[in-house]
Amino acid sequence: MSKLVWLRNDLRVVDNTALLQACQYRQASEPVIALYIATPMQWHEHHEAPIKIDFIQRRLVELRQSLAALNIPLIVKEVADFAAVPACILALTQQYQVGHVFCNKQYLINENQRDLRVGEQLASHSIKLSVFDDDCIIEPGRVLNKQGDPFKVFTPFRKTWVRVYHDQVASRGVPLVQPAPEAITDIDARDDDVIDDRSRSFVTADLHSPSALHFSYPVTNSIDWAVDDEAIRQRLLTFCYEKAMNYHANRDYPAIDGTSCLSPYLAIGALSLRQCFHTLMTEYPECLENPESGAFTWFNELVWREFYRHLMDAHPKLCREAPFHDWTKFVRWQNDENHLRAWQQGETGFPIVDAAMRQLKATGWMHNRLRMIVASFLTKDLLIHWQAGEQWFMSHLIDGDMASNNGGWQWAASTGTDAQPYFRVFNPTIQGQRFDPKGEFVRKWIKELKDVPDKFIHSPHLWLGAHTLSYPRPIVDHKQARLLAIETFKRANEQG
Ligand code: FAD
């Protein structure tokens, strides 16, 4: 019987629990097969970005090679949506005489339901499905407060996370990062009797070309992001060796290359969070005891990622488009379509907002400080529902990730747990002056402002030469918009 590893958001061979377990469970002469199922209709529903899908396609081609070196063929299938997945897997289990399917858990509702249906379908044919917790360093449900409930506030979550982590290391003694499985050597990968179309690893003919994959989904080029294991490893090492120590000082300045830019790899699981944490701890073993350090600050961000995943798991309503705080359902959003369009296109007249939005459109990535600024601007200055921003981000980000994106948007919109209080509204001009003081980032993305003196770069409409600029005036008055936002949230709070 064969073992089937169903890959989803874990496109890697190193530190992949399901893959390792499949290889460990196999008996002599049993093949291990890997499977990836593309679901374009589902991706449309989830607003997946074309650049992210291109990135996945390229990563799968790379992964096929890494798996082939382990003597594990990769089958890539395309079906419409999650509903079609159980039948697809069942057919493959019959085609390849699979007795046991392995995968890593995703902590989202649609994905969970899909897995339940797959499990039922397989069970009715006496095929086992094993699902592993792999996406977090500490799995959801294990970081709890004294009452045994999930945390709603980040700092106590992080403190308990550290305690649980130390306990886990002491009691389990498992290495933090698992190596790639050893290559299978007791079967011949070219033996057509073992797997009949093994030579055609990408079995669905219309997806297949020797060096590329083409799913039925629009794509935009992600070539600026290398997808090979060595490049990803080097990016992580370079960050930890050269940048982590100054992360706390540099991370808020978009003109400085001060963050890791690893989020796209984490989003598709080309890299695990454990690999990030392990590399950090190897380089800075004392970092958890030194909260002032750059390394600790980076660690803190890694734990934010865990926090949002634990929240999603504990509060499924977050997957169902609900705010964390019910009273925020009463906020009377203005949802002005012209304002939304101006925000999306980077035409609001607030340079730091516009530069960030143009960066997102052009590259599929945005700096964290800028994500906070543009999200605050949309939800407070423009009083547009955070879901409009969440969706726009998801459909443009190469690192689009449901848990982190939802968490980030609800944080900025003051609808989430441990969010920015609603009465604290970012001033986009001051944010620009503080975090892009010379306007380097703004000038890079807004060519119209290249001649504006530094003093006016974040308020070009006040410059004497403003009439020469082909750049919009601010679409709202921040002072008034701020007061209106606070009043609107206050009223909603009283109502709720
Ligand atoms: P680094 O600063 O190097 O941090 C390392 C890693 O820690 C990141 O790659 C990421 O996995 C994690 N991380 C860092 N900050 C956060 C955070 N605030 N929340 C959760 N995880 C974090 N991140 C995504 O990966 N996908 C998203 O779709 C996403 N949407 C966001 C939307 C909004 C409105 C906001 C405010 C934040 C969002 N983030 C999202 C979080 C954060 O902005 C990005 O993870 C970060 O900018 C990625 O850059 P980096 O890899 O250089 O991060």
> What's the rounded mean pLDDT across residues 5-32?
96
List domains and CATH numbers for the chain: 1-135 (3.40.50.620), 136-176+229-314 (1.25.40.80), 326-495 (1.10.579.10)
Which value does ipTM take for this structure? 0.99
> How confident is residue 204, by pLDDT bands cut at 50, 70 and 90?
very low
Considering the candidates 43, 409, 411, 445, report the single residue annotated as catalytic.
409
> What's the rounded mean pLDDT across residues 393-421?
96
Residue 386 among the catalytic residues: yes
The Cα 337–Cα 161 span in angstroms is 42
**Is the Cβ atom of 409 under 6 angstroms away from ligand 1?**
yes
**Is the Cβ atom of 397 under 6 angstroms away from ligand 1?**
yes
**Is the Cβ atom of 375 under 6 angstroms away from ligand 1?**
yes
**Is the Cβ atom of 412 under 6 angstroms away from ligand 1?**
yes
Give residue 174's pLDDT: 64
**Which residue type occupies 275?**
Q
Phi-psi region of 96 (alpha: psi -120 to 50; beta: other; left: phi over 0): alpha
Atom of ligand 1 nearest to the CA of 251: 2
Instruction: Tell the residue nearest (CA) to atom 30 of ligand 1.
Output: 405
On whether the CB atoms of residues 15 and 270 are closer than 8 A, the answer is no
pLDDT over 90 at 209, yes or no: no
Instruction: Tell the residue nearest (CA) to atom 48 of ligand 1.
Output: 263
The structure's pTM equals: 0.96
Give residue 210's pLDDT: 56
How much is the CA Rg of the chain, to the nearest whole Å?
24
pLDDT over 50 at 195, yes or no: no
Give residue 172's pLDDT: 73
59-85 pLDDT, tens per residue? 999 999 999 999 999 999 999 999 999
Quick one: which of 315, 320, 308, 313 has its CA closest to 141?
313
Task: For residue 136, report the distance from its CA to the centre of ligand 1, in Å.
Answer: 15
pLDDT over 60 at 205, yes or no: no
The Cα 255–Cα 240 span in angstroms is 20
Give residue 190's pLDDT: 47
**Which residue type occupies 92?**
L
164-173, 341-350, 464-473, range with the lowest pLDDT? 164-173
Quick one: which of 258, 271, 251 has its CA closest to 55?
271
pLDDT over 50 at 198, yes or no: no
Give residue 168's pLDDT: 83
Q: How many other CB atoms are found less than 10 A from the CB of residue 437?
A: 13
Looking at per-residue confidence, does 279 or 198 come out higher?
279
Residue 283 among the catalytic residues: no
On whether the CB atoms of residues 366 and 343 are closer than 8 A, the answer is no
210-229 pLDDT, tens per residue? 578 999 999 999 999 999 99
Considering the candidates 110, 300, 301, 440, report the single residue annotated as catalytic.
301
Give residue 118's pLDDT: 98
**Is the Cβ atom of 302 under 6 angstroms away from ligand 1?**
yes
Q: DSSP secondary structure string, 84-100?
A: GHHHHHHHHHHHTTEEE
**Is the Cβ atom of 304 under 6 angstroms away from ligand 1?**
yes
Instruction: Tell the residue nearest (CA) to atom 21 of ligand 1.
Output: 305
Instruction: Tell the residue nearest (CA) to atom 3 of ligand 1.
Output: 260
**Which residue type occupies 296?**
F
pLDDT over 90 at 478, yes or no: yes
Quick one: which of 355, 340, 346, 343 has its CA closest to 458?
355
- Give helix then strand counts, H and E, for the chain: 19, 7
Task: For residue 367, report the distance from its CA to the centre of ligand 1, in Å.
Answer: 8
**Is the Cβ atom of 398 under 6 angstroms away from ligand 1?**
no
CA distances in angstroms from 27 to 1, 7, 135, 184, listed in the order given = 9, 21, 27, 11
424-454 pLDDT, tens per residue? 999 999 999 999 999 999 999 999 999 999 9
The Cα 187–Cα 195 span in angstroms is 11
pLDDT over 60 at 297, yes or no: yes
Atom of ligand 1 nearest to the CA of 266: 11
Tokens of 374: 């543009």
Q: Which residues make Cβ contacts (< 8 Å) with residue 281, sequence separation at least 6?
A: 176, 287
pLDDT over 90 at 455, yes or no: yes
> How confident is residue 203, by pLDDT bands cut at 50, 70 and 90?
very low
Burial 182-191 (b: 16+ CB within 10 A, else e): eebeebebee
3-state secondary structure of 256: coil
> What's the rounded mean pLDDT across residues 121-146?
97
**Is the Cβ atom of 446 under 6 angstroms away from ligand 1?**
no
Give residue 173's pLDDT: 67
3-state secondary structure of 132: strand
> How confident is residue 201, by pLDDT bands cut at 50, 70 and 90?
very low
The Cα 376–Cα 379 span in angstroms is 5
The Cα 397–Cα 391 span in angstroms is 10
Averaged pLDDT of the chain: 94
* 144: DSSP letter: B
Residue 78 among the catalytic residues: no
Task: For residue 241, report the distance from its CA to the centre of ligand 1, in Å.
Answer: 20
